[in-house]
Chain A
Amino acid sequence: MLRLTLKNLRANLGRLLATAIAVATGTAFLAAGLMITQSLSASVEGDAAIQYAGVDVAVLAPADPGEHRSGSLNAAVLEEVRSTEGVNSATGEFVAETTIADSNGTAVRSRSQGRAWIEDHTLNPITIDEGSPPTAAGEIVVDTETAQDGTLTVGDTVVINTPSGEMDAEIVGISSFGAAPSVDSGGTVFMSAGWAQEVLTGGHPGWQQILISSDTPDAVIAALDTSLPGSPEVLDSEDFLTRQTETTEEFLSILSPILTGFALLALFVSGFVIYNTFTVVVSQRSQELSLVRAIGGTPSQVRRSLLLEGSLLGLLASFAGLAAGMGIARLIEYVLDRFDVRLPGVGISINPRVILLTLFAGTLITLVSVMLPAWRAGSSRPVEAMRQAAVDDSGTSSLRMYVGGFFLISGIVLLSLNAFSASQWYFLGPGALLLFLGVVVGGPLLARLYGRLAGVLLRPSMTGRIAADNMVRNPKRTATTANALVIGLFLVTLVTVAGTALKDWIEMEIADLSESDFIVVSETAIPQGLVDEIAGADGVDATAPIRSAAITTTSGDSVLISGSDVEALQNTAGFSASTGSLDQVISGEGAADSGVGAFAGPGAGRDAEGPGPFDPEARQSDPGGTQSTSADETLSLIDPDGNTVEVPIVAQFELSLDTIFLATVVNDDLFTRLAGERPVVQVYVRSAPGEVENLGATLDSLTSGFTGVVVVPGNFVGQVVGQAIDFLIAAINGLLGLSVLIALIGIINTMNLSIHERRRELGMVRALGMTSSQVRSMVRIEGILIGLLGTIVGVTSGALVGWSVVKGITGDAVSLAWGRMGLIFAAGLVISLLACLLPARRAVKVPMLEAMAAS
């Protein structure tokens, strides 16, 4: 039997190729997904392990709820660590965004980080390739990639933009990190420890973490745990590494299921196609199989032969899928790179687990899909193959009708319940599932009714009429073919409809939250000259410049304070009080040596309720150890002269998209008293009516010469979210498109089978005078009818579930994306048309006489 199997495989190679492609496409995605996640996590862990290889113990500054580690480990703490017994060496680490300006004033790399240079060789993983380490203020070392991007060499003087503003620096060295250019994917600017403390910390010296090399880590941990002030975290090397890779793990834990999900979907759709193809193969070989049975092959021998054939095919195709998967993984890497997202480490790599898992999954799904056709082939009676191909009425029993109809209707009812009862999410899953079951169970019946209807509609054309009749000759097969398309188009429509509606809704909601037209922002400073230019620009109605500083309190903490002309802020950013009154804040009047502040609105006070969704500090690069304020509090702040200023908090302001950038707000006079002269960091701009677009261009040109100054549209968040959702829809649909392509193979296979089964009929109708073009159009119409069935069911059910999801979330009238749905519909039809090209040619090529003579 093995020889028969192998010979069959060889004899049917062309026919099986379609199946192989289906299997390979499914497994390719599985492989790509596995490869990316595996190598990502491996390389990130590997990188961290190399970066902190010499670290035996680490001390971490307490993190704020926004996961921002402040640099609160000051020089005294570092000294204490160094003097602890068992510590060989200890060094502070501080990282803050720092960019290098090129000759045009724009950043060489937008996401580069500034780091303090670590003197100790055990603790420093960075090697200097060229030049020397930074030792004094004004000296920097850049990584090889940044040097390359900005064509920088040792000895160049550049402008760097740090949390303390712009300044000149000389490049004294070029560094690398093992085989990679840098520990930061966006590039690194190294400074001497002393200068880093000055410029990176924004005037509040301290370290984010202290790295310790020790031969007796346990003793050091025990000693530090009790001795250090402010209870920082003290971790051994293992826990420390885990902490370092946490964020990546989190990212992977989102990415990995998504990719695996797509892979499983592709495999699932492949399953339909493989099942159909093998049904095709089995019936095309029914005569041969009958012969095997007639001359004494047992049913189980026939089945085993087919199962073996399936496994071999599945295995071979999975190998092909594995190879294709590597290609896809590299493609994804490339696309991410285009979006400036560089995969850390060495990139895509293959390990045995990926290979085994891919081969296993591909083979298994093929084997499972082959089981039913194989079982059927085994049970066929030896004479069966001699029967004339007749109309197959199977799959249209009334039981099927009732069960399928019940599933369909209850699915629709549940989905509607979900839509009209917001947040009753437990209807959604079962509803979608029932809908799907209804489509699968009721599919053959649906196909039959649809074929009848098409037959009536196409009655005037004999070719169309016969095509419609042919389509429902085997309703089960037609339904299975159409269902492969249904799954893909269902998901594409669902993602598009739900995604588009959600996008519109979110953009609308966000637009409501923003009053200002533009916000000019800098991480460091906006020169006063530029602030004045902006205020005087054509089309500007009003501006509100904001200054910001972290002020130390009498208890030693620090508080972030924003200073502004509060009235101007009201006019530009819709700044308003939710409790209390802003009048006092505007005048700033209070008792002698005092001022009045307003603090951010509901949910912002971490003391009260923990971090809210709009926690300002969570979104702000936070140079000092700051605390937010709460209502009815009085802040005791220390001014530059060392005097205490009492600032009662009298109002709470409404949080909006504009004001989430603001901390505790005081008027300009009070701010100057508290913080001295500080640069402006934000300017809220309101345009004159109808001038928004012109003003945007004006602002862009005004700010173009300044490093790190960015013009953000007022509805920026809405735009970003909208673009992100659009990108997501496109990306997901791109991946889903794969399953649609697999369905295309399914249609081709089914049509080929139909043609093979009707060879004699085709011969006869040709003899009776059906022209080649009539035969072609007959086949085409049949294929398109199948495709149309899949498209209608897929798009309709996708739209239904999408509507249910969106209506459930927003509760609003949902605007369905009719245009996009139309496109999907058209795509479905084009695909079916494409799928018919080959079979139509084949049908015409059927030799008339041979087809009739065969008996």
Chain B
Amino acid sequence: MSTPSEFTQSAPPTALKWAAQVIDTYRIFGHDDTRVIALDGVTVGFEAGKFTAIMGPSGSGKTTLMQVAAGLDRPDQGQVIIGDVEISTLSEKRLTLLRREQVGFIFQQFNLLPTLTAKENITFPLDLSGSKPDPEWMQRVIDTVGLSDRLGHRPSELSGGQQQRVAVARALVERPDIIFADEPTGNLDSRSSAEILGFMAQAVAEFGQTVVMVTHDPGAATYADRVVFLADGQIVDDIVNPTRDQVLSHMGTLQG
């Protein structure tokens, strides 16, 4: 096991250095015999303007970490800070609004509303809050993901890769403080996967977007600026600018 990096040990937030932080957080499911400790005192920060990957074997708690950090789930103990807001005291409604305005999501599947067209799906979060997308920014995002000619189509008329591109565009168009992606390439072939990962890396590099991605694909993790490894609900490793071999060897250590 390597020693935790400076990111996980770092001190409280300075403005905008951290897009989201999880501090000494526990998340426990079930009772007694069925009790599972998904997060066992995790402390981690996600740096603004960076692409962070969370990796770990099945059941390591990586999805739970993402959900807690994104405000989709509440920890049993510990602090979660999105931007500069500590969310544990927020009402469900305030939390929903915060997610709507500051957090973007890309899921593995069920990303899109089947009754809406691609364009409507992209603007869906903005429509929910009744705001209008910035047309210039919108165009730029659509051009980036290469969807200009599919905007009027419904999800059922798009390929899996195209559907995920719509999801990426939706996450980008609202310019959230942070985008969480849960296995965004889990259902895609390798070519589409590379495209989607490329768009996300491009968004980080060109637009300064913050992206946190949960993945079990070492190839996908190499697109990230940093990889956080999780096992049994704890952060066990943290590497910056990972290569494929580094990731593979770390994963090998965890699973072996």
- The interface of chain A, by Cβ under 8 A from chain B, is 388-391, 462-463, 466, 469-470, 473, 760-761, 763-774, 848-849, 852, 855
Contact = CB atoms under 8 A, between A and B. Distances in A.
Contacts of B115: 391, 466, 469-470, 473
A772 B128 CA distance: 12
Contacts of A855: 109
Output the residue of B101, B111, B125 with the most chain A CB within 10 A: B125
Contact of B93 (A388, A466, A772, A848): A772
Contacts of A470: 115
A271 B114 CA distance: 31
Contacts, number: 76
Contacts of B103: 769
Contacts of A769: 96-97, 99-101, 103, 125, 128-129
Given A391-B115, A470-B115, A771 B93 contact: yes
B72 to A, nearest CB: 6
B158 interface: no
B118 to A, nearest CB: 15
A848 B116 contact: no
Contacts of A766: 96
A767 B105 contact: yes
Chain A interface mostly = helix
A855 B183 CA distance: 14
B113 interface: yes
Interface in B45-104: 67, 70, 72-73, 92-93, 96-97, 99-101, 103
A760 to B, nearest CB: 4
Contacts of B109: 388, 855
Residue among B116, B124, B154, B170 with the most chain A CB within 10 A?
B124
Contacts of A466: 113, 115-116
Interface of B: 67, 70, 72-73, 92-93, 96-97, 99-101, 103, 105, 107, 109-111, 113-116, 124-125, 127-129, 154, 156, 170
Given A466-B113, A761-B113, A767-B72, 10 more contacts: A388-B109, A390-B156, A462-B124, A764-B105, A764-B107, A767-B107, A769-B103, A772-B96, A849-B72, A855-B109
Contacts of A765: 113, 124, 128
A849 B114 contact: no
Contacts of A390: 114, 156
For B70, B96, B103, B125, which residue has the most chain A Cβ atoms within 10 angstroms?
B96
8 contacts: A389-B114, A764-B111, A765-B113, A768-B100, A769-B103, A770-B96, A852-B110, A855-B109
A760 B116 CA distance: 16
A412 B220 CA distance: 65
A462 B128 contact: yes
B156 A768 contact: no
B72 A772 contact: no
Contact of B110 (A463, A473, A760, A774): A760
Given A769-B97, A772-B92, A388 B110 contact: yes
B156 A771 contact: no
A469 B97 contact: no
Contacts of A770: 96, 100, 128
Contacts of B114: 388-391, 473, 761
B125 A848 contact: no
A852 B107 contact: yes
A815 B149 CA distance: 57
Given A473-B115, A848-B72, A767 B110 contact: no
A767 B73 CA distance: 10
A769 B93 CA distance: 9
Contacts of B72: 767, 848-849
A768 B116 contact: no
Contacts of A462: 124, 127-128
Contacts of B124: 462, 765, 768
B114 to A, nearest CB: 6
Nearest to A759: B110
Contacts of B107: 764, 767, 852
Contacts of A761: 110, 113-114
A764 B124 CA distance: 12
A390 B155 CA distance: 10
Contacts of B111: 764
A761 B127 CA distance: 17
A364 B106 CA distance: 50
A848 B116 CA distance: 21
**Shortest beta-carbon contacts, A-B, top 10:** A769-B100, A469-B115, A462-B127, A760-B110, A771-B96, A769-B99, A768-B125, A769-B125, A767-B105, A764-B110
A91 B251 CA distance: 113
B194 to A, nearest CB: 24
Nearest to A770: B128
Contacts of B92: 772
Interface centre among A391, A760, A768, A852 (most CB of B within 10 A): A768
Contacts of A767: 70, 72, 99, 105, 107
Contact of A768 (B67, B93, B99, B154): B99
A165 to B, nearest CB: 83
A463 B125 CA distance: 11
Contact of A849 (B67, B96, B129): B67
Contacts of A774: 128
Nearest to B101: A769
Nearest to A463: B128
Contacts of A773: 93
A681 B72 CA distance: 89
A549 B146 CA distance: 106
A121 to B, nearest CB: 83
A770 B128 CA distance: 6
Contacts of A391: 114-115, 154, 156
Contacts of A469: 115-116
A101 to B, nearest CB: 74
A780 B67 CA distance: 29
A422 to B, nearest CB: 50
Nearest to A455: B115
Nearest to B121: A768
B178 to A, nearest CB: 14
A765 B115 CA distance: 13
B162 to A, nearest CB: 16
A768 B97 contact: no
A466 B112 CA distance: 12
Contacts of B97: 769, 771
A366 B18 CA distance: 61
A470 B113 CA distance: 10
Nearest to B105: A767
A46 B208 CA distance: 95
Q: For A388, A470, A761, A769, which residue has the most chain B Cβ atoms within 10 angstroms? A: A769
A601 to B, nearest CB: 72
Nearest to A760: B110
A388 B160 CA distance: 13
B128 A768 contact: yes
A766 B72 CA distance: 9
A48 B105 CA distance: 82
A386 to B, nearest CB: 12
A388 B127 CA distance: 25
Contacts of B113: 466, 761, 764-765
A193 B128 CA distance: 91
A761 B92 CA distance: 19
A554 B70 CA distance: 112
Nearest to A855: B109
Contacts of A463: 128
A680 B188 CA distance: 103
A277 B155 CA distance: 29
Contacts of A764: 105, 107, 110-111, 113
Nearest to A391: B114
Contacts of B170: 768
A473 B115 CA distance: 8
Contacts of A852: 107, 110
B110 A768 contact: no
